[in-house]
Amino acid sequence: MRASTFLQEVRKIGIDTAAGVPDSTLKQFCDALCLDGGAVFRHYVTANEGAAVGLAAGAYLATKRPCLVYLQNSGLGNIINPLASIANDEVYGIPMLFVVGWRGEPGTQDEPQHIYQGKVTCELLEVMGVPFSVIDADTTAVQLKEILAKAGAQFAENRQYAVVVRRGAFAKEQEFLWENGCDLLREQALKVILEKVYQQAFIVSTTGKISRELYEQSDALYGAHDRLFMTVGGMGHASMIAYGMAQADPGKRIVCVDGDGAVMMHMGALGFLAKQAPKNMVHIVINNAAHESVGAVPTGCSGQSYAQIARECGYENVYLVRTVPELETALSEVLRCRALSMIEVMVSLDARADLGRPRESAMENKIRFMEAYRGR
């Protein structure tokens, strides 16, 4: 099935607004929305999936037209509250169409953070009272029309409907491509960070390619990665994990290597961290202005400076860097002081196609990290 065809059929049931968070399973779908450029659909990449539900609710109140909310199934947790307490037909009754990328589908091979989520995806929709249909590469045009007719019937009752999308459901079409204007490679920046901090700090890294690149780089530099905790899931929570460690043991230096899309997803953490002001924590944000790990769609905050936001929140030391020398200087300065600091590193969208994946399970990473942390 072509994603552009899917969107054409969605438009026929009265939907002209789409909002959500990109997913690799939905890459062709997201590319089609971006290439549309607002000609047919108003399209918004929101901070998180719950925010997309809020946007859809507001748009419906203003227009009486349902919206499309797209997400990876890992984002179902973020929509539960606004779905149950705002959109549900026992509250305000806001109709909307969910398009859910199904990572970790039982019987398929996927990364560890998707395994359990994949098992409970359909159960979560059932518990939330959202009927759904599953589409794949074999779904026909006739079947799609029938599915969307079911969605329309739910809309008439002020309810929601979901389309769960299997991997490979959408055929490859024209790819959405763009550049962010940065020259520094992310892997190059991460190598500099590891060289400066690995032997004197413990690192908490965010989801996606940042953790995978740190894993490879630490192995290449030190033959180990025991001081690296890779937050494979829970996008947006790495900085709070880092703070949990920092407050528990003020004598240890904790470095959080975060991503711009992850910070945006739960940006309230910046205000909280500034209020707590842990002196042993450094917050590094790798900013390529995109959800690059799942298809390189620009984030909803592309062009914004997280360093400036952190400064306004109350971070004591803040740096914005674009080159290796600037990064090296900033790292040297934050490691000399004892204060909550942020370094925002502007990097390009480039990434290796042959980037590997961790050889250990998430549980093994946890055990080895905790042993290193406690000096065993």
294-339 tens-digit pLDDT: 778 888 888 889 999 999 999 999 999 999 999 999 999 999 999 9
Instruction: Report the sign of the C-alpha dihedral through residues 70, 73, 74, 78, in that order.
Output: positive
Split at pLDDT 50, 70, 90, the class of 177 is confident
Split at pLDDT 50, 70, 90, the class of 266 is very high
* DSSP-assigned letter for residue 80: H
The pLDDT value recorded for residue 301 is 82
The pLDDT value recorded for residue 57 is 98
Instruction: Report the sign of the C-alpha dihedral through residues 93, 96, 101, 102, in that order.
Output: positive
Distance CA 3, CA 32 (A): 6
Alpha helices in 209-292 (DSSP H): 209-222, 238-248, 260-265, 268-276
Question: Does residue 136 carry a pLDDT above 90?
Answer: yes
Worst-scoring range by mean pLDDT, 21-35, 48-62, 106-120, 159-173? 106-120
Give all domains of the chain, ordered by start, each with its CATH number. 3-165 (3.40.50.970), 186-373 (3.40.50.970)
- Considering the chain, what is the average pLDDT of its residues? 94
Question: Does residue 187 carry a pLDDT above 60?
Answer: yes
Backbone phi, psi, residue 240, to 5°: -75, -35
Query: Strand order in 341-346's β-sheet?
Result: 228-230, 202-205, 254-259, 281-287, 341-346, 317-321
